[in-house]
Amino acid sequence: MPSLAIVILTTFLCYIMQYILCFVVDKREIEKHEKKIKPNKYTEKLFFLWNRNEKLYWLVYIIIISESILFIVVWVLYFLGDINIFRKFLNIYVGICSIYDTILVIKILMKRVKDYIISKNR
């Protein structure tokens, strides 16, 4: 079983990086995107730490909720002590964080390139 310090560093660093990236994307990058979701008041209070407009970019919504659930599952498995399942879920957790970060960065770059092309054509 990995030490508690390694698990804390891994999970909390992934979680904090994901939250910061989602916050930046929601606040600055994709303001006028066509796919937005209005979260209900319970989801808003449980999963989101920042104030936002009425609607939220759909990918940020999915990322925050799924990562929060995986974060909780990883910690429950750590305290239950099942090494095999814990390691699998920890690998899944880190992998999903990396995939989500990559998808958000690609979305941001695509939007910036599109905005740049549109501004050049005017």
Share of the chain above pLDDT 90, in %: 0
Characterise 53 by phi-psi region: left (phi > 0), alpha (psi -120 to 50), beta (else): beta
d(CA 76, CA 101): 24
Instruction: Pick the more confident residue, 30 or 16.
Output: 16
Q: Mean of the pLDDT values across residues 9-17?
A: 84
Residue 106: pLDDT band by 50, 70, 90 thresholds?
confident
pLDDT at 27 exceeding the cut of 80 = no
